[in-house]
Structure 1
Amino acid sequence: MPDADGPLRLHRETVRPEWLDYNGHMNVAYYTLVCDHATDAVMDWLDLGQSYRRRAGGTIFAVEAHVTYDRELSEGDPLLVETLALEAGEKKLRLFHRLLHAEAGFQAASNEVLLLHVDLATRRVGPWPADGRERLRAMVAAHAGLPRPPEVGRHVGAPRVG
């Protein structure tokens, strides 16, 4: 497994014209889509993604997510997603994504997502394979000492708006 001592930077993308809303900036749904693409990149990096699904019949389902929208993005803006592994259990994985403007460096959004491992034959939650569980635990351990962004564990609210 490659080094995971810092946030993972496995996914880059560019804001597409079809992602814009009537306000001329990226629609809220696409912030989540980009973070979902980053989740796929992490799972592929862990060998628990598409090839694992085909090989072993296991996959992940997202069961909860929290997104913050911090800055506007426009057509053509380059995006970079940084990912922290917050928690891994026998059947779950919790990730935190920071969606960054790849050139200006500002955080445009954040996404905290809870994923469950699912056996596609039964469509039921089940344990990770032993080797995958070890890779997940190693990633979480590598990220354990990193600073936690203030959005981690945040609830829905607007603390700065009356």
Structure 2
Amino acid sequence: MQEVPEMRTLECDVDEAWIDVNDHMNAQYYGILVYRAHAAFTEMIGLGDDYVHTTGFGKMVVQGAMTYEREVRRGARLAVDSWLLGLDAKRLHFFHELRVLETGVRAAAFEQLDLHVDLGTRRTAPMPPEVVARLEHFSAQQCAAGRPDGVGRTIQLPRN
């Protein structure tokens, strides 16, 4: 059996400057940490800077949603784990979990959809078939153990 690809894309300590008046990590830093993790994951899966400079193609976020589940307090050590849940020729579906390492508790989850883009025309464009095949294999390996909780959540008010 092959090993599941590594999902840990970021580890860091909460910076004192990230603490707000409520004595917890301000919401904007959840997004910054997920963005940094997403950039690292993009490199890990071969769509990072080298891919952009070599091919003239890149990817851009078209949709994203953050769910805040627990507050993060001063002094916490954090980790982000990332998944490539699926893809087609022009779209990639990602999921990131922000966890407090000391407790293992998930503090936030971020789901996003990226588009593969021709950076010359600024329009969506299909990925090369060999890239799609490699990423499909990676995604299948990664998701073989199951998908993270909360995939596909929507924002809506409860109906009365």
Please classify the TM superposition score into its range, dividing by the shorter chain length: 0.7 to 0.9
In structure 2, give the amino acid aligned to 1:103: E
In structure 2, give the amino acid aligned to 1:93: L
Give 4+ residue runs of structure 1 displaced > 6 Å after superposition: none
Residue of structure 2 in register with 1:108 after alignment: 107
Residue 83 (1) aligns with residue 82 (2):
yes
- On the 8 A contact 2:5/2:138 being kept in 1, the answer is no
Residue 50 (1) aligns with residue 49 (2):
yes
The TM-score, its normalising length taken from structure 1, stands at 0.86
In structure 1, give the amino acid aligned to 2:30: Y
Structure 1 distance, partners of 2:108, 2:13, is 15
Alignment identity in percent?
35
Does the residue aligned with 1:33 lie in a helix, a strand or coil? helix
Structure 1 distance, partners of 2:46, 2:57, is 11
Per-residue deviation, 1:148: 2.6
**Distance 1:53-1:76 versus aligned 2 partners, 3 A rule:** farther
Per-residue deviation, 1:6: 5.8
1:91-136 Cα shifts (integer Å, max 9, x gaps) = 1110111111122211010011111111111111111133322221
Residue of structure 2 in register with 1:41 after alignment: 40
- On the 8 A contact 1:9/1:81 being kept in 2, the answer is yes
Structure 2 distance, partners of 1:144, 1:95, is 11
Per-residue deviation, 1:157: 4.4
RMSD across aligned C-alpha pairs, in angstroms?
A: 2.1
Residue of structure 2 in register with 1:142 after alignment: 141
Residue 133 (1) aligns with residue 132 (2):
yes
Residue 95 (1) aligns with residue 94 (2):
yes
Residue of structure 2 in register with 1:62 after alignment: 61
- Gaps of at least 5 residues in structure 2 are none
Aligned residue pairs: how many? 158
- On the 8 A contact 2:78/2:100 being kept in 1, the answer is yes
